[in-house]
Amino acid sequence: MLSSIHPLGERTRNNKWALTVAGFTVGSTVTAALVGAGLGWLGGFTFGNMSETVTLVSMAVIVALAGLLDASGVTVPGPRRQVNEHWIGAYRGWVYGGAFGVQLGAGVATFVVTWGVYATLALELVSASPVSGALIGSVFGAGRSIGLFLAGRVDRASRLSAFHGRMATLGPPVRVFAGYAPVVLGCLAVGVVLL
């Protein structure tokens, strides 16, 4: 569904791709920041008394655990729904872009494909700070729009085919990298904190 949001597709629907992507990015970033702020505030009651070292080690362990779960292929629980594809063409681009962004920015309102989503929510909670939680969330939310920006050069059918071919080819190595990179980074972070 999101793979249909590119300049070629938006042009055929008489929408401006930049406005649709802006709506998505704003919706995703703001929603994720609000979720993060709420979890950070809630975490203040539970994790607010932890030392900075314990907080950082906990965060590193969360990231490493999510990476291990992704790398090992453990099924990610969560909803099995996507955004409503019928909104494309029924509403203006910035409307469905924003609505899709809100749903993906929430993290768990749609199909969850990586343990990293749950790790992000846990990091926001453990941060024990609305400001830190909002910052973590806004980075997560903005990151959800990267795929749309990657499709920014798809302005004709030949580029659409080539783009989908590249995405299919890059899928397996990116999944491996996305699974193992957090494990390595989490372990390095724990090592640095404990030194």
Q: Tell me if 174 is assigned to some domain.
A: no
Closest of 169, 30, 178 to residue 97, by C-alpha: 30
Please state, in angstroms and rounded to a whole number, the distance separating the CA atoms of residues 195 and 191: 6
Residue 94 lies in a domain: yes
**Which ranges constitute the DSSP H helices of the chain?**
7-12, 17-47, 52-72, 93-105, 115-127, 130-143, 146-150, 157-194
Whether 86 maps to a domain, the answer reads: yes
Evaluate whether residue 34 is within a structural domain. yes
pLDDT tens for each residue of the chain, 195 residues long: 557 888 888 888 999 999 999 999 999 999 999 999 999 999 999 999 999 889 988 999 999 999 899 988 899 999 988 888 888 888 999 999 999 999 999 999 999 989 999 999 999 999 999 999 999 999 999 999 988 888 888 888 888 888 888 888 888 888 777 777 777 776 777 677 666
What pLDDT is stored for residue 71 in this prediction? 86
Asked if residue 89 is part of any domain, the answer here is: yes
Shortest CA distance to 43 belongs to which of 133, 149, 128?
128
State pLDDT tens for residues 140-192.
Answer: 999 999 888 888 888 888 888 888 888 888 888 887 777 777 777 767 776 77
Parent domain of 105: 2-50+81-167
CA angle in degrees (0–180, nearest 5) for 83-89-93:
75
For 75, counting Cβ atoms within 10 Å of its Cβ (0-12 exposed, 13-18 middle, 19+ buried), the class is exposed
pLDDT given for residue 65 in this prediction: 92
Return the amino acid letter for 183.
Answer: V
Q: For residue 70, tell me if it sits in a domain.
A: no
Q: Does 131 map to a domain? A: yes
pTM value is 0.86
Domain tally for the chain? Answer: 1
Where b means 16+ CB within 10 Å and e means fewer, 139-152 reads: ebbbebbeebeebe
* DSSP letter (8 states) at residue 2: G
Residue 55 · residue 181 · CB < 8 Å: no
Say if 43 falls within a structural domain: yes
